[in-house]
Amino acid sequence: MNHQDPRQHHPKMMSPFGIYPIPFMPACPQYANAYVPYQYYCQSFPLPEALMKGTLFPELYKPYMPERQLGGE
Amino acid sequence: MMMDDRLALLRQIQEVEFAAVELNLYLDTHMEDQRALMEYNQIHKQLMMLKQQYEMLYGPLTNFGFSPSQYPWKWIEGPWPWEQVY
Amino acid sequence: MWIYEKKLQYPVKICQPDLKMAKYLLTQYGGPDGELSAALRYLNQRYTIPTNEAKALLTDIGTEELAHVEIIVTMIYQLMKDATVEEIEAAGLGGNYAIRDGALFYTDANGVPWTATYIQAHGDPVTDLHEDMAAEEKARATYENLLKLTDDPGLKDTLRFLREREVVHFQRFGEALRIVQEYQQAKKFY
């Protein structure tokens, strides 16, 4: 397997590594912008479970709970 | 039963390929994550092995030269994915 | 170039024929927030999105959506298998039968044909990624409506899988947006 840092292969590539790593949330949030938290992958479901759940990532698993109604109480 | 064996192997391919899809999409927005990349490459190896095993027993999963075919041309053989009854 | 794989991304297990449900599922085939709309939206936007991350993501999610089109069709196909004309008519699919027998067509659940006006492309990366995130949420909500319309455990299982994919895709488009925002912030862009 190739463990080399891909940066070394494309020193003149237009962009990438300049903006990485991207923080969980922006350091300086701006008004009138929408931000999604940037995922940091730590754990994964076992493969059979991942397929059944529809995601490999426990932090992204948000099953539908039909009983919970929004706007009530 | 032969059908059950085929579906069990297909299920395993679906599981491993799904992990590959998930890691692929993750890597699209996390090109610098070395651990995810390592896992992706591992999954790739596992997937290639499973697909080769499946294709030897039950015929090609892909066309256009990505899989070989036995005689006669196996690509047209059913059931097609939408016809498969579990 | 695309390569077809002769298998479903996720297995479809249908317990019994249900023509009404087949009709409802059509919305995810040729409806406004259906899988066809999703695939065509993303595969069209990728030509003008400026970042390589988003080009890859639109290509890959667009391709996965085509696999979801196939899953939806498989559910409809199997729910309608061996149906009689009387059953088709009783489920409100008589109009479809009159035109095309049992053949499928890209329409929503009410028979309204698919139209390109369901999707958008503006070329502005922030605008297009917001469109994509909204599309994922609309599809998620549609899957929740469909889940409420059936008791078939096999059908529910596949619908839950497809619903969760919308959640994951939303996250990825959100990250692609964060990347665009970071570029804009860094003034490396334009």
- Interface ipTM: 0.96
Query: Tokens for C15?
Result: 């317990």
Structural domain contains residue C7:
no
Q: How far apart are CA C182 and CA C190, in angstroms?
A: 13
The answer to whether B14 contacts C8, with C-beta atoms less than 8 Å apart, is: yes
The number of domains in chain B is 1
Structural domain contains residue C41:
yes
Q: What percent of chain C has pLDDT over 70?
A: 98
Per-residue pLDDT, averaged over C176-180, amounts to 97
Please list every residue in chain B whose beta carbon sits closer than 8 Å to the beta carbon of residue A6.
31-32
Query: Tokens for C99?
Result: 């035109």
Q: What is the pTM of this model?
A: 0.92
Q: How far apart are CA C125 and CA C181, in angstroms?
A: 10
Please list every residue in chain A whose beta carbon sits closer than 8 Å to the beta carbon of residue C163.
54, 64
* Per-residue pLDDT reduced to its tens digit, C134-168: 999 999 999 999 999 999 999 999 999 999 999 99
Structural domain contains residue C2:
no
A 41-70 near C (Cβ less than 8 A) = 51-55, 57, 60-64, 66
The answer to whether C177 contacts A34, with C-beta atoms less than 8 Å apart, is: yes
Structural domain contains residue C10:
no
Helix (H, G, I), strand (E, B) or coil at C27: helix
Structural domain contains residue C95:
yes
* Per-residue pLDDT reduced to its tens digit, A30-68: 999 999 999 999 999 999 999 999 999 999 999 998 876
Query: What is the domain extent for residue B47?
Result: 2-83
Provide the H-helix boundaries in chain C.
19-25, 27-30, 35-45, 52-79, 85-90, 94-100, 125-148, 153-185
Per-residue pLDDT, averaged over C55-62, amounts to 98
Structural domain contains residue C110:
yes
Q: How far apart are CA C126 and CA C124, in angstroms?
A: 6
Per-position b or e across C137-165, b if 16+ CB within 10 A of its CB: ebbbebbbebbeebebebbeebbbbbbbb
The number of domains in chain C is 1
Query: Tokens for A56?
Result: 């490999």
Structural domain contains residue C5:
no
Q: How far apart are CA C71 and CA C162, in angstroms?
A: 9
- C33: domain CATH number is 1.20.1260.10
Size of interface B-C (CB pairs under 8 A): 74
Query: What is the domain extent for residue C68?
Result: 19-185
Distance set, CA A24 to CA C117, C164, C172, C178 (Å) = 35, 22, 13, 10
